[in-house]
Amino acid sequence: MQLTNARIRVAFSISIYYTVHSNGRISTHQQAVVVYLKGAHDALRSARFNLEGGFYGVVVNRAYYTFFYAATALLLTLDLTRSKHSGVLAAFRERFVKPGTFSIHDSQAYGEALELRNVTDYEMLGQVDEDQARGILENAERFVRACEAYLTTKGYS
């Protein structure tokens, strides 16, 4: 197990052009973009499913991860990675919102999802209602569509 972890650390320190999949294979960052975008779609499906079931805190969690995975895919197109959730959000804002590629609304929606996820995941008294969960989910769906449109223009389809 330590050898695998060492390989992962080495792979990431050698170049940000590569990522390590769970099976240990290394692929180019273009493939990683696709993997992260698929993760965003998987999180969206999970959020929709949990909304129907009334698990609103889980909806927020999965909607947040939709933002996180999609933003990570965007950053990979610029050969950037970040090790912290707040770092991904900050880099997204710096590289995509500040120059006007993505809107302030996208930035605010992503930030709100991060804050609300922290409340619902880590504070047992933090609850959300159906309207809040539905709003976060709708923002995440719009964000993924915007990311897909951007990625298509950059040749990541």
Which residue would you say has higher pLDDT here, 5 or 140? 140
Distance from C-alpha of 111 to C-alpha of 10, rounded to nearest angstrom: 31
Which residue is listed with tokens 């999180």?
A: 43
Full-model pTM: 0.82
The most confident of the ranges 19-23, 95-99, 125-129 is 95-99
Distance from C-alpha of 128 to C-alpha of 125, rounded to nearest angstrom: 10
Sorted by where each begins, the domain ranges of the chain are 29-153
29-153 is a CATH 1.20.120.450 domain = no
Number of H helices, E strands in the chain: 6, 2
Which among 109, 78, 118, 83 is positioned nearest to 94, based on CA atoms?
78
Q: What average pLDDT does this structure show over 122-135?
A: 91
Distance from C-alpha of 17 to C-alpha of 75, rounded to nearest angstrom: 11
